[in-house]
Amino acid sequence: MINVTKTFLPPQEEYNAILKSAWDTGWMTNRGVLVQELEAKLKTYLGISNIIATTNGTLPLQIAIKALGLTGEIITTPFSYVATTSSIVWEGCKPVFVDIDPEYLTIDETKIEAAITAKTSAILATHVFGNPCAIEAIEVIAKRHDLKVVYDAAHCFGVTYNGQSIFNYGNVSTCSFHATKLFHTGEGGALFAKDETLHNKFFYHHNFGHDGPEAFQGIGINAKMSEPQAAMGLAVLPYMGEILEERKHIAETYNAAFKDTTLKLFKIREGARWNYSYYPVVFKDEAELLRVKAALNQAAIFPRRYFYPSLNTLDYVESVSCPVSESVASRVLCLPLYHGLQPLEVKLITKIILDTL
Ligand SMILES: *Cc1c(COP(=O)(O)O)cnc(C)c1O
């Protein structure tokens, strides 16, 4: 069976050796030595000044909305994972969907200003499949209308834009370290804010508002990463170079196989160094996608309809039309892409797709 992804597992003895320090200290959580070591190593690896490791990639979105004091309407993309929209609704704000760009698949920056009202407090956009949004244009719009910018950068581990970490852009960026993501800690995630005041606010928020054991700085939630999670991250991190090389090779093999077909690949933003986190292909219509998916399933190959459905069609949001996102969501399939996917398997996948087209 070949799935869309396969979690990279480091040698178990390496994980155990790292975990030993948690046994030695007797600490399983509350920002122990392993969480602090992971944060320090990620700062160096990613080239960033601030990070807060969290227990997943959804709580950071909710904390960002809360800590920035966002209210009313938040402009967002319909082409993302459900957590982007659900976090907005969960925090009592209203998602206002702006359609996506058909080439880059990120929010269409040329349509944002028309969606701004007196109630708009922020733009929450996703760097889709690790592909940066139109960052400069969004920054100009945000400044002009005094809006905050939050980037759901769940897919962006290791992505750089104009030579620096993608996590440096916007007022805040979030990442997910879920087991299906490029870099993982089982469950996990992170919050990134360059601004020290904001970073400190996030820090209190992610740990109940604790200011020492007996005092509280304000309200908070529990979003702390645990020691076993951090141990997994520390065990996976040394393999990132190897993981990226292999994914790059597989993606290039797919590119070559599909270059003379009608399949549409997404366009990587100029100035970005991409991370090969997903391999989405867009079919000419949904019927073609369903035919290819069925043929692959027949051979025990399970690509994923991702992202699907378009989030503006969720039953708990105000329904609006986003024709580009709805169309892409109905036609996009993420093909298997992971460390350990064998060349013969890649060959089989491309053959089935080419034969079915
Ligand atoms: C995975 C993902 C999330 C949520 O991350 P979790 O770690 O699963 O909570 C949020 N946004 C996007 C775009 C994602 O892909």
Q: What pLDDT sits at residue 329?
A: 98
Q: What pLDDT sits at residue 104?
A: 98
Q: What pLDDT sits at residue 238?
A: 98
- Provide the CATH number for the domain formed by 2-238 in this structure: 3.40.640.10
DSSP β-ladder status, 2-3 and 301-302: parallel
Q: How far is CA 295 from the centre of its chain?
A: 29
Q: What pLDDT sits at residue 84?
A: 98
Instruction: Give the residue, out of 178, 184, 332, with the most ligand 1 atoms within 8 A of its beta carbon, to mutate for a pocket test.
Output: 178
Q: What pLDDT sits at residue 268?
A: 97
Residues of the chain with pLDDT under 50: none
**pLDDT, tens only, 294-318:** 999 999 999 999 999 999 999 999 9
Q: What pLDDT sits at residue 344?
A: 97
Tell me which residues have their CB closer than 6 angstroms to ligand 1: 56-58, 80-81, 83-84, 126, 152, 154-155, 176, 178, 189
Query: pTM of this prediction?
Result: 0.97
Q: Whose CA is nearest to atom 2 of ligand 1?
A: 154
How far the first Cα of the chain sits from its last, in Å, is 22
Cα of 344 from ligand 1 centre, angstroms: 31
- Provide the CATH number for the domain formed by 240-356 in this structure: 3.90.1150.10
Q: What pLDDT sits at residue 236?
A: 98
Q: Which residues neighbour 211 within 8 Å (Cβ) at sequence distance 6 or greater?
A: 204, 217
Which atom number of ligand 1 is nearest to the Cα of residue 176? 7
Q: What pLDDT sits at residue 31?
A: 95
Any idea where the domains of the chain sit in the sequence? 2-238, 240-356
Q: Are 276 and 8 in contact (CB under 8 A)?
A: no
The 3-state secondary structure of the chain, one letter per residue: CEECCCCCCCCHHHHHHHHHHHHHHCCCCCCCHHHHHHHHHHHHHHCCCCCEEECCCCHHHHHHHHHCCCCCEEEECCCCCHHHHHHHHHCCCEEEECCECCCCCCECHHHCHHHCCCCEEEEEEECHHHCCCCHHHHHHHHHHHCCEEEEECCCCCCCEECCEEHHHCCCEEEEECCCCCCCCCCCCEEEECCCHHHHHHHHHHCECCECCCCCECCCCCECECCHHHHHHHHHHHHHHHHHHHHHHHHHHHHHHHHCCCCCEECCCCCCEECCCCCEEEECCCHHHHHHHHHHHHHCCEECECCCCCCHHHCCCCCCCCCHHHHHHHHHEEEECCCCCCCHHHHHHHHHHHHHHC
Q: What pLDDT sits at residue 51?
A: 98
Q: What pLDDT sits at residue 223?
A: 98
DSSP β-ladder status, 120-126 and 272-273: unpaired
Q: Whose CA is nearest to atom 7 of ligand 1?
A: 57
Q: What pLDDT sits at residue 171?
A: 98
Q: What pLDDT sits at residue 121?
A: 98
Q: What pLDDT sits at residue 145?
A: 98
Which atom number of ligand 1 is nearest to the Cα of residue 177? 7
Cα of 34 from ligand 1 centre, angstroms: 23
Which atom number of ligand 1 is nearest to the Cα of residue 189? 7
